Amino acid sequence: MKAWQLASCTPHAWARAVAADLPALLSDHAHCELKAAASAMTLLRCHGSRPGLAARLLPLVREELDHFQRVLRELQRRGAALAPDRPSPYTRGLLAAAGAPRRRDDGYLRALLVAALIELRSHERFARMLECEALDGLHDLVSPLAEAEERHGHLFLDLALEAAPEGDVRAAFGSLAAAEARVLAAAPFCPRVHSGPPAG
């Protein structure tokens, strides 16, 4: 089976650039973990009658909240506080590209693919962070998070394949992956997991 792939690669310079403000980077990711749990709970609220969905997503919700606590502890260890959440041009742009999934007849499939892309991009970004010497101090935190992001991404893809024919899922994923790459390239750079490329 053909692998599920993102449509762009994060440059190594991105990891070196976000290393300049670790409290901001960690605060952003803490909010990402909360949003991931909330998104899974929204899927359950809207589509909880689907057989087996709760059993698949409830462990994910618990894991996302555990990750939120881990990131908070890392912030505290560094003497920093959780910064206020900020709107994400990346998430806003990806949802727009997906056609506001909650308002569509195929909203369940689209929401699953958006969630999969966010998780797979997060995994790719964490992989870049693990390769960056300036971020060696975060290795113990980031390594298990990277594994979980990849696993969660494939969980959402598995759910999508259970909901629609594989050809339809792959076509929709390919279209959204291309849009995700465009959205990310156009996003401004700042020390957050889903920021655009650094200047230069």
- Residue 102: per-residue pLDDT: 58
Q: 99: pLDDT confidence band, cut at 50, 70 and 90?
A: confident
* 8 A C-beta contact, residue 20 and residue 132: no
Each residue of 155-188: pLDDT tens digit? 999 999 999 999 999 999 999 999 999 999 999 9
Residue 100 has pLDDT above 90, yes or no: no
Interval 42-93: pLDDT, tens: 999 999 999 999 999 999 999 999 999 999 999 999 999 999 999 999 999 9
pTM above the 0.85 mark?
yes
User: Closest by alpha carbon to 153, among 22, 36, 46?
Assistant: 36
Record: fold of 20-186:
Ferritin (1.20.1260)
Residues 133, 16: Cα–Cα separation, whole Å:
8
Domain ranges of the chain: 20-186
Whole-number CA gyration radius for the chain? 16
Average pLDDT, stretch 95-106? 71
- Output the pLDDT for position 1: 39
Per the structure block, which two tokens stand in for 100? 């506001």
Query: What pLDDT score does 80 carry?
Result: 97
In the chain, the percentage of residues whose pLDDT exceeds 70 is: 95
Q: Which helix or strand (DSSP H or E) is residue 87 part of?
A: none
Which pLDDT belongs to residue 98? 87
Q: Where are the beta strands (DSSP E) in 18-59?
A: none
Q: Average pLDDT, stretch 18-31?
A: 97
Among candidates 64, 68, 58, which has minimal Cα distance to 27?
Answer: 68
**Pairwise CA distance, residues 97 & 177, whole Å:** 10
Q: Where are the alpha helices (DSSP H) in 50-106?
A: 53-77, 89-97
pLDDT tier for residue 106 given thresholds of 50, 70 and 90:
low
Average pLDDT, whole number, for the chain? 94
Question: Can you tell me the distance from the alpha carbon of 152 to that of 160, in angstroms, rounded to the nearest whole number?
Answer: 12
